[in-house]
Structure 1
Amino acid sequence: MIGTILVTLIGGVVIGLLGKWLAPGDKDNIPLWLTVVCGIVGMIVGSLLYWVIFGQNNAAFDGHEATWDNATNGVDWWRHIWQVVVAAVAVVVASGITGKSKA
C-alpha cells in the first residue's frame, strides 16, 4: 500500500512536470501540488485510454495476462507518452480554471 502511494506521488511529479513542459504557452502559473494532481490524472487516464485503444488485444506475457497498467513486456513507452499528453491537457485545463497570471 505504501509502495503504491509512493509510486503514484513520484510518478505524478514526473508525469506532471513533463506535462507542464509539453503544455503550450506559459503554464508555469499553477502550484506544484496541482502539477502533481495533473500528473496523477495523466497517469491514470492516459493508461486507461491507451488500454482501451491499443492494449486489449495484447497477448499474455511473463506468465500473466496484459492489464491496463501493464500492457506489454518491458517498458511501455507508448503508454507513458499517452500519460504525458493527458497530463499536458490537464495542466492546460487547471491553468485555465485557476486563472492565475504571472503579470
Structure 2
Amino acid sequence: MEIKKTALAGTLESSDVQIVVSQGTNGLEFDLVSAVAKQFGDQIQATIEAVFAAYDIQNAVIKVVDQGALDPVIKARAITVCQRALNQVDQPQWEVL
C-alpha cells in the first residue's frame, strides 16, 4: 500500500515513542533517535518493520524518537501511524493486532 499522507503517533513523554511516517521511494528508510539505540535499535526497527509488512507498506520514510518504550507500546504506535498514513482510521485491520 502507498502512504496517502504524512502521519504521527505517540508523544515525547518518558516510556513512549513518537513515530512520524511519510511517503518514500527507496523501501523503508529509518531515522532512529534513542538513548538505547545501541542496545535495542535493531529490535525497535524490527517491531516497526513487522507492522509495516502487515499493512503491506513497502516504501516510507520513518522517523522514530524513542523515550524508552516497551515493545507493545512501539507496536501500538506503529499500528496507529500506519492507519493514519493510509487514511484507514475508521477501518482497522484487526488481523494486524
- Find the structure with the greater CA-based Rg: 1
TM-score (ref. length: structure 1): 0.27
Query: TM-score of the superposition, structure 2-length normalised?
Result: 0.29
Instruction: Select the structure that is richer in helix.
Output: 1
